[in-house]
Amino acid sequence: MKNKRIQITRQLAKFSSTTKALEDAGLTCEIRILKNEILEANRYLSQKLQVSLASPLIFFQRLRIVEGQPKTIETSYIPEELVPGMEQVQLNDRSFYQFLNDEYQIEIRKSEEEILLVKASENEKRLLELTDDEVLVLKGKTFDKSQRCIEYFEIAAVPDFYVFESGVSV
Q: What is the pLDDT of residues 34-58, one digit of tens each?
A: 999 999 999 999 999 999 999 999 9
Task: Give me the pLDDT at residue 1, please.
Answer: 39
For 86-107, what is the mean pLDDT? 86
Task: Give me the pLDDT at residue 168, please.
Answer: 66
Compute the distance between CA of residue 27 and CA of residue 7 in angstroms, rounded to an integer.
10
4 or 149: which carries more pLDDT confidence?
149
**Mean pLDDT over the full length of the chain:** 90
pLDDT at 169 over 70: no
Q: For residue 155, count CB atoms less than 10 angstroms from its CB and return exposed for 0-12, middle for 13-18, buried for 19 or more.
A: buried
pTM of the model: 0.89
Distances in Å between the alpha carbon of 89 and those of 27, 35, 37, 60, 119?
A: 25, 11, 10, 10, 32
Superfamily of domain 8-160: Chorismate lyase-like (3.40.1410.10)
Compute the distance between CA of residue 8 and CA of residue 22 in angstroms, rounded to an integer.
7
Residues 6 or more apart whose CB falls under 8 angstroms from that of 3 comprise 69, 129
Closest of 99, 134, 139 to residue 117, by C-alpha: 134
